[in-house]
Chains A and B, each alone.
Chain A
Amino acid sequence: MIRALSGCLKKGLWLFDKLEYLVLVFLLTVMITLAFLQIFLRIFFATGILWGDPFLRHLVLWIALLGAAMATKEGKHINIDVISRTLPDRGKVAIQAFTDLFSTCVCVFLIQASLKFIRDEYQAGTFAFLNIPTWAVAVIFPIAFGLIALRFAMSGLRNGTIAIRGSAR
């Protein structure tokens, strides 16, 4: 029963990862194409898509946040590793479990902050570009911070167990 449940969970996470990957690739492809189209139109036809630039800028935001979520999954966030590089394996894992849990907590506060941001923008009724309201483009904030928190939590649990068990496997 438990095994089946955890299998289901794993499957779900795998699907989610795949979805995240596809969205990221899709957004970047759109970005490359649209950005090139814009300059092509400017040079050869002295024109451009009016909503193109704000749309591109919002793509940057989405790509940045999804990229950050992915960096969390791969453990590739930029950090200072001067100390951890010199530690023995077990100490390294223990410290990482600790920093993972701290990171999870910070992300929870970020989720809270982004939900407040969305609420405020919803009430103010502001628009990002065209007819798209700001709150709608801002939903990426809680989604990304949620993913990041989840991944830090999972990594923290994993590292914590390893540190307690005392083996580096």
Chain B
Amino acid sequence: MIFLSGILTVALALLGTPLFIIISASALLSFYLVGIDSSIVVIEMYRLAKTPMLIAIPLFAFAGYVLAESQAPSRLVRVSRAVLGWLPGGLAVVVILACTLFTAFTGASGVTIIALGGLLLPALLSEKYPEKFSLGLVTTAGSLGLLLPPSLPLILYGVVTQTSIDQLFIAGIVPSALLVLLLSLFSVYKGVETQIPSSRITVREVINAIRAAKWELPLPAVILAGIYSGFFAISEAAAITAFCVVVVEVAIYRDVRLGDLPRIMQKSMVLVGGILIILGAALALTNYIIDAEVPMKLLNFLKVHIESRLVFLIMLNIFLLVVGCMIDIFSALVVVVPLISPIAQAYGIHPVHLGIIFLVNLGIGYSTPPVGMNLFIASFRFERPVLKLYMASLPFLVILLLALIIITYVPSLSLFLVKPGGP
């Protein structure tokens, strides 16, 4: 019976049934089978109103959508170009940094491709970067910002595992820097190899570009400083961001009309509703899973086959890559994390480190052929065949996988800032 319904559920999920329906159905059925009243499912969903951190999600999502509709992306690109354009491969490095920052603020690499891609791809092509390189770059660079504040997926991981979100954001710094560094080195190498002339830095343009963005540049600085110093809680940082973004984009730059705000609110809340309803359903299912000691059973099974932490991590990496390219990062987090995190802890993996592994992995999965979501988004956005994007993103994936291996197998990279003196 359980086995049969399990297969049926997976089949329904693969056919495209919304995941919150799948998860709710599993929870309802599981509790029914053990004779617990179905109202438990709603009791668990009501926990959405008892988790203070969650306030950050609608606020950041809304702010991200407003930014995406404004001219902020082009001002951001202009500043980074003025400052970094002199490097060989400078524009490519600009792409990496701009995408990283933008994804950190919008929490979704797909949004970055749509908001920044249309700006960055033509710029790259006009500077004679090879098309394949440019496509691969804008498709994969978006997944770099997932580890930096105020990234929504990292907040969600913290909520699901009850890990300190502040610690997660601190732990994300070095791994993000590593990812950015490796991709940048590759870009500089590519820039030198294809002999792309680097633009000269002019003080005037730097000043002008910074002046044009003077109302927006302080925001990331304030948010980062506030979060890292512990002066703001994440939800407070979200409140400040949402409020300031509206004031700056609507009242100061007038990029977004006041009349557009309700529409943007609706658009962003459709995303938030989609994520949080899955989280609500997953809270119920997780409750059952923990009660039924499923992670323990899974662990006992795994212990027989997997002895070392190393092998476990390899399996985890592969598993998450597959998951990452099948389902969206938010649902992957709320569904998979509760199952895996007790097991990972039994293998001696620090929950903060596990969070970093999850996000890097799922982020890469997003751009992994054949079904990574970003490839389809990019294919749609840039009007190129998906096959071409497969080929284009391959070299970048190799680099990202290399970084993933380092991040996974050198835990201190993530943890040394969190716990001074090493793990």
Do A81 and B243 form a contact, CB below 8 Å, given A67-B274, A69-B273? Answer: no
Taking CB atoms, residues of chain A closer than 8 Å to B49 are: 57-58, 60-61, 128, 137
CA distance A65 to B51 in the complex (A): 15
Is B357 interfacial (CB-CB < 8 Å)? no
Is A162 interfacial (CB-CB < 8 Å)? no
Is A110 interfacial (CB-CB < 8 Å)? yes
Do A79 and B240 form a contact, CB below 8 Å, given A39-B232, A63-B272? Answer: no
A80 touches B326 (CB 8 A): yes
CA distance A65 to B376 in the complex (A): 28
A70 touches B42 (CB 8 A): no
- The residue on B at minimum CB distance from A53 is B52
State the Cβ distance, A80 to closest chain B Cβ, in Å. 6
A60 touches B58 (CB 8 A): yes
State the Cβ distance, A113 to closest chain B Cβ, in Å. 4
Contact residues of A between 123 and 169, Cβ < 8 Å to B: 128, 134, 137-138, 141
Is B417 interfacial (CB-CB < 8 Å)? no
Convert B359-393 into 0s and 1s, putting 1 for each residue whose CB lies closer than 8 angstroms to a CB of A: 00000000000010000100000000000000000
Count of B interface residues, CB-CB < 8 Å: 63
- The residue on B at minimum CB distance from A81 is B16
B12 touches A25 (CB 8 A): no
Is B208 interfacial (CB-CB < 8 Å)? no
Convert B16-51 into 0s and 1s, putting 1 for each residue whose CB lies closer than 8 angstroms to a CB of A: 111111001100100000000111111101101111
CA distance A23 to B21 in the complex (A): 24
Contact residues of B between 253 and 302, Cβ < 8 Å to A: 262, 265-266, 269-278, 280
Is B100 interfacial (CB-CB < 8 Å)? no
Q: Which of B71-79, B90-98, B327-335 lies on the face that meets chain A? A: B327-335
B16 touches A78 (CB 8 A): no
CA distance A36 to B41 in the complex (A): 32
State the Cβ distance, A96 to closest chain B Cβ, in Å. 7
A57 touches B38 (CB 8 A): no
Contact residues of A between 75 and 100, Cβ < 8 Å to B: 76-85, 95-96, 98-99
CA distance A116 to B331 in the complex (A): 27
Is B239 interfacial (CB-CB < 8 Å)? yes
User: Which residue of A61, A72, A74 contacts B48 across the interface (Cβ within 8 Å)?
Assistant: A61
Contact residues of B between 226 and 253, Cβ < 8 Å to A: 232, 235-236, 238-240, 242-243, 246
Contact residues of A between 28 and 68, Cβ < 8 Å to B: 28-29, 31-33, 35-36, 38-39, 42, 53, 56-61, 63-68
A64 touches B14 (CB 8 A): no
B273 touches A68 (CB 8 A): yes
Q: Chain B's interface: helix, strand, loop or mixed, by majority?
A: helix
Do A110 and B42 form a contact, CB below 8 Å, given A35-B55, A60-B57? Answer: yes
CA distance A128 to B46 in the complex (A): 11
CA distance A111 to B28 in the complex (A): 12
Is A71 interfacial (CB-CB < 8 Å)? yes
Is B13 interfacial (CB-CB < 8 Å)? yes
Convert B312-351 into 0s and 1s, putting 1 for each residue whose CB lies closer than 8 angstroms to a CB of A: 0000000000000011101100000000000000000000
Do A141 and B42 form a contact, CB below 8 Å, given A28-B58, A77-B274? Answer: yes
Do A61 and B46 form a contact, CB below 8 Å, given A31-B59, A71-B270, A78-B18? Answer: yes
Do A80 and B19 form a contact, CB below 8 Å, given A74-B270, A110-B28? Answer: yes
Taking CB atoms, residues of chain B closer than 8 Å to A82 are: 14, 326, 371
State the Cβ distance, A43 to closest chain B Cβ, in Å. 9
Is B54 interfacial (CB-CB < 8 Å)? yes
Q: B residues within 8 Å of A by Cβ? A: 12-21, 24-25, 28, 37-43, 45-46, 48-52, 54-55, 57-59, 62, 232, 235-236, 238-240, 242-243, 246, 262, 265-266, 269-278, 280, 326-328, 330-331, 371, 376
Q: Mind listing 7 A-B residue pairs with CB under 8 Å?
A: A24-B266, A32-B242, A32-B246, A67-B271, A70-B269, A71-B271, A79-B18
Q: A residues within 8 Å of B by Cβ? A: 21, 24-25, 28-29, 31-33, 35-36, 38-39, 42, 53, 56-61, 63-72, 74, 76-85, 95-96, 98-99, 102-103, 106-107, 109-110, 112-114, 116-117, 120, 128, 134, 137-138, 141
